[in-house]
Amino acid sequence: MSDRTVPTRTVKIAVTPGSGAGAARQVARRLSRLLGRHRWQADVESFNDLESLRRWATTCAPEFSHLVCIGGDATQSAAAIAAIRCDAAFVPVPAGFGNIFATVFGHPARAKAVITLLERGERRRVDVGVVGEELFLSHRSYGLLEHVQQVAERGRRQPKTHVLRYLWYWSVGRRFLFGSRLAGFQVTVDGAAVADDAVLVTVANVETYRGFLSLTPTASPIDGMFDVFVIPRVGKLRLAWRLFSLLLQLPGRWQRVRLYRGRDVTVTTPRRREVLHTRRRVLPLLVPPGALEALRARTPTDDDPPISTPAERAS
């Protein structure tokens, strides 16, 4: 990071125009106008794809005090690299696939509310996940959910309403589930082998698919650890039923799945081996007042799943 002093009311707006079926570009334009009226210096940087955004994030000069990123989880994960490098307050604005990370903290999607957040928000440092040279804010999935995410991000043709979008996700998942062979994944958490033939794995920094298909309800971006959701080898119909029971929050839904907690996770797939690490409190995030305190104050409930921590068992 440079020693150059950056004006405190300087905003860089990073946007991928395709996010949110084109809504991201409209939000960026409106936000830029409103910032000028509120005496913020704003500059919009538009990127055609995630790769160009990542290149910018790894090379940009530290010339802004705040980085507003408009898009889904993949877009925000790519842009967050710049916020960490430049020590700029990161402001994720949800518009696109997932929006899981921003939802956890209650970040707004409307331009006027973003202005309020910039004026009154609290700067806090939170955790991120790293796999190889990539950074992720929300989660990394393997198996069925990874396929659905890839199709959604590639096609950008999801319905706009939540109900129709969820039905679309299930339609994509059903086609993949019954049209492809279920691969097996080996998983280790903090050096301990926890699965040798899992059919679905999610490594989460925050609660995954909150409000829809909560797989890691107690995952926290301020505890320095991942929550790891695993479904051991089952047939396709039983896998579908496991996910359906989680969707409907049916009693007993946690009995035939596994959850683990740890700092380092290795997932070996049929084609690759990925090592995932947590980086604790490296992202300077601008959050609504009291957002982190609410996360810390969360108390366990009878509905929370049991979680195993391999590192504690080994000590």
pLDDT number for residue 1:
47
User: In CATH, what is the architecture of 10-120?
Assistant: 3-Layer(aba) Sandwich (3.40)
Note the pLDDT of residue 59: 96
| pLDDT band, residue 176 (cuts 50/70/90) | low
Question: Distance between CA atoms of 273 and 266, rounded to whole angstroms?
Answer: 7
Query: What's the CA gap between 227 and 207, in Å, rounded?
Result: 9
CATH of domain 139-274+300-314: 2.60.200.40
Q: What is the DSSP letter of 173?
A: H
Highest averaged pLDDT of the listed ranges 10-19, 47-56, 233-242: 47-56
**CA–CA separation, 299 vs 296, rounded Å?**
8
- For 83, the 3-state DSSP assignment is helix
Amino acid at 5: T
Residues 6 or more apart in contact with residue 31 via CB below 8 angstroms: 13, 42, 68, 70, 93, 111, 114, 115
Which segments of the chain belong to CATH 2.60.200.40?
139-274+300-314
Q: Examine the pLDDT at 13 and tell me if it is beyond 60.
A: yes
> Start-end ranges of CATH 3.40.50.10330 in the chain?
10-120
Question: Each residue of 217-261: pLDDT tens digit?
Answer: 999 999 999 999 999 999 888 888 898 899 888 999 998 899 999
Tens of pLDDT along 112-136? 999 999 999 999 999 999 999 899 9
Contact (Cβ atoms closer than 8 angstroms) between residue 75 and residue 66: no
Residue 48 — left, alpha, or beta (φ > 0 → left; ψ -120 to 50 → alpha)?
Answer: alpha
pLDDT at 66: 97
Of 111, 113, 112, 65, the C-alpha closest to 89 is: 65
pLDDT at residue 142, as a whole number:
92
Reported as a pLDDT band with limits 50, 70 and 90, residue 312 is: confident
Q: Over 60: is that where the pLDDT of 164 sits?
A: no
> Would you state the structure tokens that stand for residue 232, as one six-digit string?
């051991």
State the number of CA atoms in the 13 A half-sphere of 95 facing the CB.
Answer: 27
